[in-house]
Copies of this chain bind each other. A is one copy, B any other.
Amino acid sequence: MFKRLLLTGTAALFLIGAAPITQQGGATQASPQEVLDAAPASAWMTVSPDDLVVMTLADGHQVTYQLAPDFAPVHVANIRQLVRSGYFDGASILRVQDAYVVQWGRPDEDKTEAKGINPTPPAEYEFALPSGFKALPYRDAYAEQAGHVKSWPVASDGHTAWLIHCYGMIGVARDVAPDTGSGTQLYTAIGHAPRHLDRNLAVVGRVINGMEFLTDRPRGTEELGFYKDDSQRIKIVSAKMAADLPPAERPSFQVMDSDSPAFAAWIKARANRSGAFFVRPAGAVDICNAQAPVRTAQ
């Protein structure tokens, strides 16, 4: 919205822009980008290639997503198995509903068998509050607390905790009964965080690169944004675990460690934007505007 101004996006999926240092309240406040630029290598964690799925679309674009085995292990085991057995090779983007979700997998009429998976995994919608949970020092609109566990966005009522449906987070589609989602169809959030879905579906990962190749697709013409048929859908040529790719083709990403001092400084900078542009820092940031920064491995 700036005629030509440097500014970082709301989702931290792509690190761009920079802003000058300015004086505020007598103290020099770094911008979010300056905090990232100054962060030591130790503040960045390389994502395991066993947790990375590289999905190639028929138009040649790649979307890379990270699985969350610590939070939904049975669903994640299913997804790894589905990927390795080739289930998603030849699947499609099934649905793009504006301001809501992109969903992919095989359409109902495709009877390709999903081999070697647990067809009825446990719900995995919640888990015991992990000891490493770091709450943001700001209010959350939906939960008593929201913050991070191992750089994932997590909400908690003080007893249990759950992954949050922020922009780019991935969940497992299901039918009405809670145990009907095996991982054969996945979705990612593309609008304002649909937090009413939290604790109602299994959240299993997040898109960390190429999100724009899902969000720029035509919205589906059928109810809920489903595409009508294969003439509207784009194929997924292949989905591969990064660990199974030859080293030369293997992407590598780093996520900022939510336990690092640099991350805490980054949160503070996100809540208190500096630079010549901002006349009124918000003084707060909500969890879905505080998703852990991602960069290519360095």
B-contacting residues of A (Cβ < 8 Å)?
1-7, 9-11, 13-14, 16-17, 96-101, 103, 108, 123, 125, 138-142, 166-168, 171-176, 178, 180-181, 185, 187, 190-201, 211-212, 215-219, 223-226, 270-271, 273, 276-282, 284-289
Contact = CB atoms under 8 A, between A and B. Distances in A.
Closest CB pairs A-B (n = 3): A1-B187, A11-B99, A141-B286
A97 B194 contact: no
A277 B176 contact: yes
A69 to B, nearest CB: 20
Contacts of A180: 3
A273 B167 contact: no
Given A10-B194, A11-B98, A216-B219, A3 B174 contact: yes
Contacts of A16: 223-224
A10 B100 contact: yes
Contacts of A172: 1
A16 B3 CA distance: 36
A123 B224 CA distance: 39
Contacts of A212: 98, 218-219
18 contacts: A2-B175, A6-B224, A9-B225, A11-B99, A11-B192, A14-B98, A138-B141, A141-B285, A141-B287, A176-B277, A193-B289, A195-B282, A196-B282, A196-B289, A198-B280, A215-B219, A216-B216, A216-B217
Nearest to A223: B16
A244 to B, nearest CB: 27
B191 A10 contact: yes
B196 A193 contact: no
Given A100-B11, A192-B167, A196-B289, A3 B185 contact: yes
B98 A13 contact: yes
Given A185-B3, A196-B285, A284-B141, A98 B215 contact: yes
B279 A178 contact: yes
Contacts of A173: 1-3
A192 B216 contact: no
Nearest to A280: B199
A11 B225 CA distance: 13
Nearest to A9: B100
A141 B141 CA distance: 6
A102 B199 CA distance: 32
Contact of A5 (B96, B175, B196): B175
Contact of A289 (B125, B175, B195): B195
